[in-house]
Amino acid sequence: MAKFVGIAEETTYGTPVTASEWIDINSESVNPDHAWIDVETAGSRALMNRIPGPYRVSGDIVYVVNPDNITKMLKWLCGSVTTSDDGGSPAVAYKHEFTAPSSSIKSFTLEISPDVGNQSRQIAGCAVRSLAFDAPEARGIVSVTATILGQKETLITPSTPTFSTLRPFAFFDGSLKVAGSEIADAEAFSITLENDIPDDVHVLGSRFLPGIRLQGFTVTGSMDVAFTSWDLYKRFFGSATATGPQVIPETVSIELTLTGDETGSSVTGFENYQLKIEIPKATLDSSEANIDSRSRIVQSLGFTGLYDPTSGYAAKITVVNKNSEP
């Protein structure tokens, strides 16, 4: 039997539902915590009592990204999605547009099956804390790390998984734009979209989290670019023509597009499987382009996304696939 992760959206927070989709993961580190409370008193040098504290389940799921296995996580991260089709009769391809942040997000049930003793871990009341997309080198496959916070878990009989057979996105599928201009020499990238969800909001009368309490939302990332011109260094200073740090640096747009195999649609914008991440307003926070003997120089740039009132979001993620629902 396979080792796998299963997922399904909940109707009511913390009420588990049976997995309806499955992900062929690389690894997971989703672990429970009793948060034991030690009762220390003056009557004994040794502990006499330990009481279970606020229970929580948290950790990461790492897997390679394809056009089918990322949409649910994006929906639960962002909270807002709009779906359109290519207009065919019947439609061949669909475009799912996720924008963040939203005022609320949905919970889901996570099933983790390690192929041990015909049992799975069913974790209810899960929320997506963050999705970190990463292609650390030009020879790699694009992966995502989904950081999860869950309410409680139960052991169940495993479901029967079926996995997407679509080709994962590779680095060679990608193109990167900064301030509207394509960066031809990009060698690596990472982008993290993160919901700030506290795990210490337990209330009287229960050991378990009462719901999803959203706080802030952040967009951060980095890129490595072959250092063959001063263009991005000037952008770091604050403008396309800057020769030194600006008093009021300009923000830049950042757009990462991964274009996969053909969908079979002939409609513009729907011809290929796609994952696009758009950050309309970002600051370039750091720039490193240093000499090391005769080694070639690679410029590493860090960035932070801001909310853009004109666009109405801090980040927009678009997925094109052949599924009518995200």
Quick check: 67 and 319 in contact, CB under 8 A? Answer: yes
pLDDT digits (tens, 9 = 90+) for 130-187: 999 998 776 789 999 999 999 999 999 999 999 999 999 999 999 999 999 999 999 9
138-142, 257-261, 288-292: which range is least confident on average? 138-142
**pLDDT at res. 151:** 98
Residues 79, 259, 143, 235: is their CA dihedral positive or negative? negative
Distances (CA, A) of 124 to 6, 17, 156: 12, 8, 12
Residue 135 has what pLDDT? Answer: 86
What pLDDT was estimated at residue 138? 66
For the residues 228-241, what does the mean pLDDT come to? Answer: 97
Is residue 189 packed enough to be buried (19+ CB in 10 Å), middle (13-18) or exposed (0-12)? buried
74-115: per-residue pLDDT in tens? 999 999 999 999 999 999 999 999 999 999 999 999 999 999
What pTM was estimated for this model as a whole? Answer: 0.95
